[in-house]
Amino acid sequence: MFSPKDAEQETRALEQVLAAYSYYKSFAQQEYYLPRYKKWRSLSDHQKELIPWYGDYLEKLRNAIDCNAAFLQEVVFFAQAMMGISSNVDQWPTPSRVDMEKTVSMISQIYREWSQESKCERGLATDRILQALQAYEKQSVTSRDEIRILIPGAGTGRLMADLVIQGYNCESNEFSYHMLLMSMYILNGGLKVNQKKIYPFIHTFSHWRSRNDQLKSICIPDFNVQEQLAQNNRMAMSSGSFIDCYGSNEKIRASNTYSASPTMKLTRAQMESAFNVVITNFFIDTASNIIDYLHSISHVLIPGGIWINFGPLLYHFECDDQVEDTFEVDPFTGEKTDVHEDVPLKGLELTADEILEVSISKLQFKCLNKEFAIPSGYGRSPSQNAVPGYMCNYWVLQNDKVRQT
């Protein structure tokens, strides 16, 4: 439960992202189309004659931006209708450049999660995850629909959809309104197979062999989402930071992303041993403090529950110069003690071996399976297979903690 002030802040943050979606067209034109148009116009007639098709290409680029913009605008209208937001873009906070860049990245996120073309890329994780789940199912007394799975950093919810269709019970967690808005639209928008067209590759201009590859349109979604997920109550989405919503109350220091409020404390207490499985898919490297993530995973798992991880260790905060204050809070007086000011968000970039070592020797996990250096793209176009992607790690760890009685 939010206080009125928190609720107001959340509404403004949401509106800012709605505004970012709405301004995609002008941002993309400014960022991608106009500089190239100007460059082309600046050429001598002789140079223009060498690439006579370039003007036509620019027109197609502009049309592709329009098409993406129309798609994003539909997401905005849908979200407004779902959430009863009657104000309009002129009344919403101005999005930052980061908001706009995230909006652009949503187009490739949608391609990664909801296109037929990305099936192989998704399959690298999904096939392994399904195998691990089946093995867990065999050795546990729980039936499939009673296996409770938590997916932190779920993006727009594709993995959750795949697992729910297989009969599992999933809760996704996301803290990005960019992702949450899009997943709301895809999961509830009643889209038919291939109903929407987007141009996911128009925002990058390097590494292309053929112009058509860059201008390729993609249709989403690759299945009738609502029909396949209709009438099931095995799917939930929570909004907020992973450690704030699911972390342990004892082991994590309060900060901007970990609230000491009584409500959040109660929520977190209820999450203790609430899940059979935690799946982190391209997620653990988003940690500013990976140990917080490990504690949180351990906190929510039942004894004998499993943690399935797939993804690289491209630590998101490695090059980030932001800082935050961390502190302890007296639960009765609210007084802050042991305050550490300006703690960098970067740091603690543990290696795969170190994460496994801490988990196994200190946090009572045992290793059931592991695999390293699995090459994978992330929203990579079908024609860019030669472009280096990520080296992913996969592991399945079982929580060996003994149930407290």
Residues at the contact surface with ligand SAM, assessed by CB under 6 A: 112-113, 152-155, 173-176, 179, 241-242, 281-283, 286
In angstroms, give the least distance from the CB of 296 to ligand SAM: 9
Tell me the Cα Rg of the chain.
Answer: 23
In angstroms, give the least distance from the CB of 175 to ligand SAM: 4
In angstroms, give the least distance from the CB of 164 to ligand SAM: 15
Q: How far apart are CA 37 and CA 27, in angstroms?
A: 15
Q: How far apart are CA 75 and CA 183, in angstroms?
A: 9
- Point out the residue whose Cβ comes nearest to ligand SAM: 153
If the CB atoms of residues 99 and 113 are measured against ligand SAM, the closer one turns out to be 113
Q: How far apart are CA 298 and CA 305, in angstroms?
A: 9
Amino acid, single-letter form, for residue 375: P
In angstroms, give the least distance from the CB of 177 to ligand SAM: 9
Q: How far apart are CA 345 and CA 321, in angstroms?
A: 7
If the CB atoms of residues 173 and 399 are measured against ligand SAM, the closer one turns out to be 173
In angstroms, give the least distance from the CB of 13 to ligand SAM: 13
Summary count for the chain: helices (H), strands (E): 15, 11
Q: How far apart are CA 289 and CA 129, in angstroms?
A: 25
If the CB atoms of residues 281 and 326 are measured against ligand SAM, the closer one turns out to be 281
If the CB atoms of residues 70 and 314 are measured against ligand SAM, the closer one turns out to be 314
If the CB atoms of residues 33 and 246 are measured against ligand SAM, the closer one turns out to be 246
Q: How far apart are CA 39 and CA 24, in angstroms?
A: 22
If the CB atoms of residues 179 and 187 are measured against ligand SAM, the closer one turns out to be 179
**Looking up tokens 């994003």, which residue turns up?**
72
Residues near 91 by beta carbon (within 8 Å), at least 6 away in sequence: 15
Decide: 168 and 145 in contact? Cβ < 8 Å.
yes
In angstroms, give the least distance from the CB of 50 to ligand SAM: 41
The token pair at 335 is: 């007084």
